[in-house]
Amino acid sequence: MLTFEQQQTLLSFARQAIAEELSNVKAIALKDPAFLQKAGVFVSLHKNGVLRGCIGYAKAYKSIADSVYEMAKSAAFEDPRFPKLSLAELAKIDLEISILGEMNKVQDINRIRIGIDGLFLVSDYGSGLLLPQVAQEWKWDINTYFGQICRKAGISEGLVSSGKAELYSFEAQVFGEKSSF
């Protein structure tokens, strides 16, 4: 678990990474050893409370620092659902970072905890991830949450029960510039 000060450092670093792309001002390197740990990381951007970009790594491929740096830029400039972020918009967005915990195979969807467990669904036909806060924000029940992760992965719910897809849950440390977590 990152401390409040570490969270604030990472949020500032993510904003610097985006600004670096827009204004050519280099982001300051992070020296805290906690940021060298590998973890799955998602960076989300919100503008006026509405999603403006969200991209991340489901698995621990890189250090937290490297992942935040890369995913902040990706969320701002490479999320195919949105146009590239402009310099004028940068001051209007709020950043949110999710540091993902260990993936655990779901044996029973009724044991999924809304607002605590994120979901990651993998099959030969597609994959999808929903962060823990999504189900809570949309006020989904377990069945709706399960249906939405299947939809995001582009597969039918029956593939999971047939064993042709694997469903994982994970917890995440979620923090943002607007503290609603």
- Per-residue pLDDT of 151-162, as tens digits, reads 999 999 888 888
Does 35 share its domain with 95?
yes
Q: Is the pLDDT confidence value at 181 over 90?
A: no
Are 141 and 168 part of one and the same domain? yes
**Average pLDDT score over the chain:** 94
Asked if residue 29 lies in contact with residue 4, where contact means CB atoms within 8 angstroms, the answer is no
Q: Per the domain annotation, does 90 fall within a domain?
A: yes
pLDDT in tens, 72-103: 999 999 999 999 999 999 999 999 999 999 99
Instruction: Identify whether 179 is part of a domain.
Output: no
Res 25: pLDDT: 83
User: In terms of domains, do 41 and 120 share one?
Assistant: no
CB 63, CB 29: distance < 8 Å = no
The pLDDT of residue 179: 56
CB contact at 8 A, 94 and 11: no
- CA triple 75-80-86, angle to 5 deg: 55
Domain assignment of residue 143, yes or no: yes
Phi, psi (degrees; rounded to nearest 5) at 129: -135, 135
Which CATH number goes with the domain that contains 79?
3.30.700.20
Q: Are residues 129 and 158 in the same domain?
A: yes
Least confident of 23-27, 33-37, 95-99, 164-168: 23-27
Residue 178 lies in a domain: no
Domain span at 78: 4-100
Instruction: Using the structure block, give the residue that is written with the tokens 């489901």.
Output: 58
**pTM recorded for the entire structure:** 0.94
Query: Can you give the CATH number for the domain in which 123 is found?
Result: 3.30.1490.150
Of 45, 71, 100, at which residue does a domain stop? 100
d(C-alpha 42, C-alpha 13), whole Å: 14
In this structure, are 25 and 76 located in the same domain? yes
Mean pLDDT, range 3-21, rounded to an integer:
97
Nearest to 25 by CA among 97, 87, 74, 89: 87
Contact in structure between 106 and 150 (CB atoms under 8 Å): no
24: confidence class by pLDDT, cuts 50, 70, 90? confident
Domain co-membership, 117 together with 144: yes
Total domains in the chain come to 2
